[in-house]
Amino acid sequence: MGMASEFREFIARGNVVDLAVGVVIGAAFGKIVSALVDGIVMPLVGVALGGVSVSDWKYVLKPVSVDAAGQPVAEVAIAWGAFLQTAIDFLLIAFVIFLFLKAYNRVRKPADAAPAAPAEEVLLLREIRDSLRR
């Protein structure tokens, strides 16, 4: 079996195609949620907290300064607002995926099967119990 035919067989498997579709849809969904958070959620949070953009929140370790040659030296800061915004993106994406999977599993739930017959040991123990009662 040549490498080309092995690769064709590998790609033709349902799991690989499903995974590829899931990755593409997930990437698109991530962009949608990021746009939602950037464009709607975070501006509302910023207005509620005083009109400041959350992504601009930072802790400045070293402010902007000028070196001996008169050139500006950039500030050193921890951009925790951008981290907060990314964390909110992640939580929203995870929550929506959770809801989607919960609904998907509910739809896909198999019909309740008949209870399995008891094991042979259980039947023998019941026979012994019934015979001891007599």
Instruction: Output the domain CATH number for residue 84.
Output: 1.10.1200.120
Residue 132 is assigned to a structural domain of this protein: no
Flag whether pLDDT at 10 surpasses 80.
no
User: Which residue matches tokens 């402010």?
Assistant: 63
Over range 25-41, report the average pLDDT. 84
Give me the pLDDT at residue 78, please: 92
Percent of the chain that is helix, strand, coil (3-state, to 5): 70, 10, 25
Residue 129 is assigned to a structural domain of this protein: no
Phi/psi for 77 (5° steps) reads -145, 155
Distances (CA, A) of 43 to 37, 59, 82, 88: 8, 20, 13, 13
Over range 31-44, report the average pLDDT. 83
Residue 30 is assigned to a structural domain of this protein: yes
Write out pLDDT tens, residues 38-74: 888 888 888 887 777 777 888 999 888 888 888 888 8
Find out whether 54 and 42 touch, Cβ atoms under 8 Å.
yes
Specify the pairing of strand 59-62 against strand 65-66: unpaired
Over range 31-37, report the average pLDDT. 84
Flag whether pLDDT at 14 surpasses 80.
no
Residue 61 is assigned to a structural domain of this protein: yes
Give me the pLDDT at residue 111, please: 63
Strand partners, 73: 65
Residue 123 is assigned to a structural domain of this protein: no
The letter for the amino acid at 123 is L
Write out pLDDT tens, residues 68-121: 888 888 889 998 988 888 888 888 888 888 888 888 888 877 766 667 888 888
User: pTM for the whole thing?
Assistant: 0.55
In which domain, by residue range, is 34 found?
3-110
Q: Quote the CA–CA distance of 53 and 44 in Å, as a whole number.
A: 9
Number of domains the chain is built from: 1
Give me the pLDDT at residue 85, please: 83
Give me the pLDDT at residue 112, please: 65
